[in-house]
Structure 1
């Protein structure tokens, strides 16, 4: 849905000092009102201050040449009683010569904003004579190292106590220039972050930070330069500091300190390291006050984990402040993933530091959806899944909230299902899908692997099979939402993709792309599994064509799927290898042959796509000899799966097969181990020691669907599948949200009398479809006081 600005025009500054990373402050004053509404669109990121206080940040990210408009409504309780209101907007426009970025499009800077009162009178707007002026914010350095291989630059500020006076209208102001670019403005559906303060829980130590002279770059710093060689060539040596930080080591503090409401520090012989620890990971802006006696260099390091040895090691997620003597209230511009914070103070003078807080920049969960059982371990897994998804979700589904913050496909397929189950919200998904449907001129009509984002070759889709996962999510979204209008408006873009996909069918009848594909972070991703023909991904193509053909009534798509299904099933029957052979295939001398290199990830994807479901031997081997903790010895000739994304596909398949006891055992095996790390979130890979990756929210959705029995609420036909599986539990309860209100369920299981007593409350107009799992054969099922057959 298009957003119409009443008066505002998109603007930006002129004659700016930096070509690539530009930071502007925009300002206007308006007469006080009891209520005002501010509409803002920006690239890359903005922050809104009202009378010096942050009240919003954004924007909701969107497709190239489009901007989503954030609408912020402020009332008297937020607006002070002065006669004038100061409105300041800080905008960062990020760019790199490589044009490689995952969290934004790296387009040129833009701001469009207008302020209106309750009578729709425009009080200020960007554009000619609208009242907004700008100045370039020179306090932040623009030519420094990147936060990661696929994000923008670290924050480095050179500040005096007066540096932020611009938010009160001080400084030299210029008239911005209206942009000639044609930009389409779209409505934001996704929720806004609360920015509620979260006080970091504990002061946990103070140390001297001694330079060992032996820094080790580490993974993230190493690949940052590898992916951005042109950018790193242009960084002055004096602007490089991340590697040096990694050489610092904790030693006994040689200064003096006092901890009370504030922390008072007299530095010792070396720079001082002050460490804070929170109970679990949170995401937001680090907000703190500090008073310094002498010139200070402050490095603020955040992380969600310690090393194996228990050390808080520096990384690339650093904010550097060069501070003149005085008092400061500081706040990072970038959201940070925080369980641990280290303030490294390079100074000879006295420092007074307040306890820091985090301004919450994650999905504002209102707690209306819940799940609990008599098994505390399952409850911990559910809460871990919920936290992981919440921190990875706001305006888009981010694969992770710090390293990339990108909207990756495949991740989103599972995050979207979890979002509906755990939060009862499809607004983020609707915006996310629309972003992809707005993409143009991609190779063969495919979709980019991650969006918003940027590549030098704008036609490159990256992993081509991520487009297949987008189609799975697209069809799932329709089942969840019943949004036929969006499906119809997307038809032309979907047809473009399907035509391109079918053009890749070779003489052998299957899809052969010659480009990057993905199955699982394991041997399933080696060339011998994927090239030249990936059988697992061809199975997913069949599944996608079948569903899209049914959705749009396209018989030829269904026919193509059936032709491919016959080819794949014939391969299975003629391979001579149990289970149909390996993941990859080759076509030579008119014959299509599978190799003999199978993987658990590939097997999971084939089953997920609807293959082998009637083959009892195949399914038995998959269930009992594969996964993270198989019941029987694993076949050493089948490569193990990793968590992303092979195990998550496996979990989904076990759920479809009603193998709930196996599913629960494996969820506990994987996630309880990760919860020992203490961050309260779930990781990208089975062997990771840190991370927060949103696709793991699916674990919570599966528990709710398979244990409690509450399937996805389907808005399309106002139904919910109720299919509980007690798995030895005494009780379970939970709530889900739909458009008409809450769905509430609670059951008690008597394993001696074999009776399941259920209370299930549905909103008006909704109905339940009950299915009995094999586990409940012979049980009495009582729903709302009546025996249910």
Structure 2
């Protein structure tokens, strides 16, 4: 446990964006407060500011809030947050304040966006801000001693939801000079809102490193013309659920960027760099070079009133190779309505994109600058990988990009459509964090969030949220994902030795298995699981009732993991019995069948449907082994994989997809050290993704998120199966290395640990592998050239 805690502290101290100490889990004087709005806080944007004389060096700003915030000093960006926590809990951020006006008056400003709506992204909670400026233990300012500024209508409040999973779109109606004034002018003479004290909440340390917020400029690559359709086609991604999610009723909306983006139809595209001026009826297409995530910024000038609609996406899949903002079923649009003047506008919500289009709907707009301020994990670049095959190097770079954008404070599925902390995805991404950063700080926060609340509002007792923090719409959950939580918890303890958190979560694990008992049939199998039974994004998801064998394979594995974690022999016995029963019922002599249905006479009818992913579940969860099913194993190794679309082998077996089928396939190949196959299949699965977006995808086709956290597990595959570091034991400080069987001529990789880097290098043209280990570390196998 001590080793784990020192690892967390070491990581926090290395972030250049954080002060030179960890954020405290308490305030000295600050009290939580919020403007007196009468409870009318849906999508409320408030600015908090305080002017300080001679802000001394070493000053820090502490913040906790229920919404998103952006902090600045004298108008200069300081930081964004918070790190998310479970229901009723909040984490404190702490930012160094470097004021250019240290000899005069400085303005510390905090913009808070409180959606106060349900989502898969953040928890709906009473809005508040608690903040203070401190230097050497002395409080220089504290809430409620800040001025509160109503940021509407400069930011339009009553707007559509961005996506089903996230909250609201952003529409700007700026006034010249106003935005800069409230952030930086010492004497504010505008209207202020009356602050009221709000209830206090349990507070916790941030726990994860602070992002660096690198600013990246886009490059203009084309321009074109568009027409506005008189009647835009109807889209389903904005569903209007005011009763369930807290959206605004349609009749109250003040702006409709969703309808505007649906109305635009490109009519021409002229490749090549563009000038700064965007004429009415034209658009400019920009490229950031690869998929990035963060806050979009625009430096704009309008000689007369103008209207600019910005659309964006990860790909160019629209007409004439333009941006299709509808591809992700999100409102990938930002509307900016400009009076004459010059403006700098930056979103407070993060977005994911490679390409964006700027459409001048009305009036000409001069684009003086366009940038993205990254929101990403700061330490993923510490790990390296280089080989004689540039395709593998590109995959590694893409895996690192994918991880850093999906691991800011929790493990997310994607940084775009949802930004949600999904289980199952997190099982794979947690392994990546250890490899790329040498720490498990994000994983601890992710799991700790599940431990914080006594219960999960809106969810049936005993079940765990499918993603968290979130508010389940109509109590929806994925029973399978709760089982993956148990598997991840077992690996977390092995990585960290953090028994305290594991024991804290024990009651929730026990309640989960009590919940599942009600679905066990006379054979001990789960039958008629409720809600969203999820196996994979493939035909397998249509074969989940009444008895789904992949779900029961996962159930057996979860029971096994829990048995090891908590010494429950009864769970291990139940897991063994489940595997035996599945083999008796599901295996047809050639493949495993996916499901059985209950006939009117009460007997189970085992259906003939068979999917590729079901076979991978069987081997990954040890229902089958190469020894117990040798013929099936060889069939899977030799006749399945990324090339089956071309070979059309076994057309009667429904193909699998990326999440999690392709990844499970790689995992079972790795277990049997089929490294030559993994070399070929890693390129087959992931290289085209890396080339297209610079990130790795949710599906094996570009039909959904092209930046999906679990897919960064490709980095683990490259280290383990291509470089040859079979395992890393962070507790015992040891590695296991085997020279893999693949056609590479040479390969080198470095992985950070709290004690220094692990470096492995080999060259088939001569010499033994070289393994350099940090002090106190060892290789479990003899041989090779070692430097310590």
- TM-score with structure 1 setting the length: 0.89
1:17, distance to aligned residue in structure 2 (A): 8.5
Residue from 164, 173, 176 that aligns with 2:192: 173
1:225 match: secondary structure = coil
1:468, distance to aligned residue in structure 2 (A): 0.8
Aligned pair 1:610/2:622, yes or no? yes
Relative to structure 2, which stretch is displaced further, 285-294 or 339-348? 339-348
* Aligned equivalents of 1:116, 1:232: Cα separation in 2: 39
- The equivalent residue for 2:202 is 184
- The equivalent residue for 1:240 is 256
1:155, distance to aligned residue in structure 2 (A): 0.5
- The equivalent residue for 1:769 is 780
1:627, distance to aligned residue in structure 2 (A): 2.4
- The equivalent residue for 1:90 is 111
1:85, distance to aligned residue in structure 2 (A): 1.9
Aligned pair 1:757/2:768, yes or no? yes
- The equivalent residue for 2:606 is 594
- The equivalent residue for 2:15 is none
1:590, distance to aligned residue in structure 2 (A): 6.8
Residue from 406, 413, 431 that aligns with 1:399: 413
* Aligned equivalents of 1:275, 1:688: Cα separation in 2: 20
* Aligned equivalents of 2:40, 2:156: Cα separation in 1: 9
Residue from 123, 131, 137 that aligns with 1:120: 137
Residue from 438, 451, 460 that aligns with 2:452: 438
Relative to structure 2, which stretch is displaced further, 11-20 or 532-541? 11-20
1:306, distance to aligned residue in structure 2 (A): 0.6
* Aligned equivalents of 2:490, 2:539: Cα separation in 1: 30
> Is the 8 Å Cα contact of residues 47 and 57 (structure 1) preserved in structure 2?
yes
* Aligned equivalents of 2:505, 2:562: Cα separation in 1: 12
* Aligned equivalents of 1:756, 1:603: Cα separation in 2: 41
Inter-CA distance 603–624: structure 2 relative to 1 (3 Å threshold): same
> Is the 8 Å Cα contact of residues 144 and 240 (structure 1) preserved in structure 2?
yes
Residue from 213, 218, 223 that aligns with 1:206: 223
* 1:110-138 deviations in Å (ceiling 9; x for gaps): 11111110x211111113xxx22212211
- The equivalent residue for 1:673 is 688
* Aligned equivalents of 2:514, 2:293: Cα separation in 1: 41
Residue from 394, 408, 416 that aligns with 1:380: 394
Aligned pair 1:424/2:424, yes or no? no
* 1:387-421 deviations in Å (ceiling 9; x for gaps): 11222220111111111111111111111111221
Aligned pair 1:501/2:516, yes or no? yes
The equivalences for 1:614-633 within 5 A come to: 614=627, 615-630=629-644
1:508, distance to aligned residue in structure 2 (A): 2.0
Residue from 715, 740, 748 that aligns with 1:733: 748
* 1:322-350 deviations in Å (ceiling 9; x for gaps): 1111111111111122311222223435x
1:507, distance to aligned residue in structure 2 (A): 1.9
2:743 match: secondary structure = coil
1:70, distance to aligned residue in structure 2 (A): 1.0
1:113 match: secondary structure = strand
1:732, distance to aligned residue in structure 2 (A): 0.7
Relative to structure 2, which stretch is displaced further, 145-154 or 448-457? 448-457
Aligned pair 1:532/2:543, yes or no? no
1:456, distance to aligned residue in structure 2 (A): 4.4
Aligned pair 1:44/2:60, yes or no? no
1:399 match: secondary structure = coil
* Aligned equivalents of 1:82, 1:557: Cα separation in 2: 67
Residue from 522, 531, 535 that aligns with 1:515: 531
1:541 match: secondary structure = helix
The equivalences for 1:291-370 within 5 A come to: 291-307=301-317, 309-315=320-326, 316-348=331-363, 351-365=365-379, 367-370=381-384
- The equivalent residue for 1:289 is 299
- The equivalent residue for 1:280 is 290
2:300 match: secondary structure = strand
Relative to structure 2, which stretch is displaced further, 492-501 or 382-391? 492-501
Aligned pair 1:549/2:563, yes or no? yes
Tell me how large the CA RMSD over aligned residues is: 2.6
Inter-CA distance 90–612: structure 2 relative to 1 (3 Å threshold): same
* Aligned equivalents of 2:442, 2:241: Cα separation in 1: 30
1:571, distance to aligned residue in structure 2 (A): 2.3
> Is the 8 Å Cα contact of residues 420 and 712 (structure 1) preserved in structure 2?
no
- The equivalent residue for 2:34 is 12
* Aligned equivalents of 2:482, 2:409: Cα separation in 1: 20
1:589, distance to aligned residue in structure 2 (A): 5.8
1:227, distance to aligned residue in structure 2 (A): 5.8
- The equivalent residue for 1:482 is 497
1:27, distance to aligned residue in structure 2 (A): 1.1
* Aligned equivalents of 1:253, 1:516: Cα separation in 2: 43
Inter-CA distance 584–691: structure 2 relative to 1 (3 Å threshold): farther
- The equivalent residue for 2:19 is none
Residue from 58, 67, 87 that aligns with 1:64: 87
> Is the 8 Å Cα contact of residues 514 and 531 (structure 1) preserved in structure 2?
no
Inter-CA distance 196–68: structure 2 relative to 1 (3 Å threshold): same
* Aligned equivalents of 2:269, 2:302: Cα separation in 1: 19
* 1:482-539 deviations in Å (ceiling 9; x for gaps): 212222222222222233234432222112323321111111000xx21111111111
- TM-score with structure 2 setting the length: 0.89
> Is the 8 Å Cα contact of residues 757 and 783 (structure 1) preserved in structure 2?
yes
Residue from 458, 465, 470 that aligns with 1:448: 465
* 1:552-611 deviations in Å (ceiling 9; x for gaps): 212222222222223223325xx6442343344648867555321111111111211112
1:409 match: secondary structure = coil
1:228, distance to aligned residue in structure 2 (A): 6.1
* Aligned equivalents of 2:51, 2:240: Cα separation in 1: 46
> Is the 8 Å Cα contact of residues 535 and 585 (structure 1) preserved in structure 2?
no
1:713 match: secondary structure = strand
- The equivalent residue for 2:97 is 74
1:238, distance to aligned residue in structure 2 (A): 5.5
Residue from 674, 697, 712 that aligns with 1:683: 697
The equivalences for 1:214-233 within 5 A come to: 215-217=232-234, 221-225=235-239, 231=247, 233=249
Relative to structure 2, which stretch is displaced further, 239-248 or 406-415? 239-248
Specify every segment of 5 or more residues in structure 1 that has no aligned partner in the other structure, as ranges: 772-780
Specify every segment of 5 or more residues in structure 2 that has no aligned partner in the other structure, as ranges: 6-23
The equivalences for 1:150-161 within 5 A come to: 150-161=165-176
* Aligned equivalents of 1:228, 1:665: Cα separation in 2: 49
Inter-CA distance 559–643: structure 2 relative to 1 (3 Å threshold): same
- The equivalent residue for 2:12 is none
> Is the 8 Å Cα contact of residues 669 and 678 (structure 2) preserved in structure 1?
yes
Inter-CA distance 64–783: structure 2 relative to 1 (3 Å threshold): same
1:366, distance to aligned residue in structure 2 (A): 5.7
Aligned length: 743
- The equivalent residue for 1:648 is 663
> Is the 8 Å Cα contact of residues 257 and 333 (structure 2) preserved in structure 1?
no
* Aligned equivalents of 1:713, 1:74: Cα separation in 2: 39
- The equivalent residue for 1:774 is none
Inter-CA distance 62–353: structure 2 relative to 1 (3 Å threshold): same
> Is the 8 Å Cα contact of residues 577 and 596 (structure 1) preserved in structure 2?
no
1:666 match: secondary structure = helix
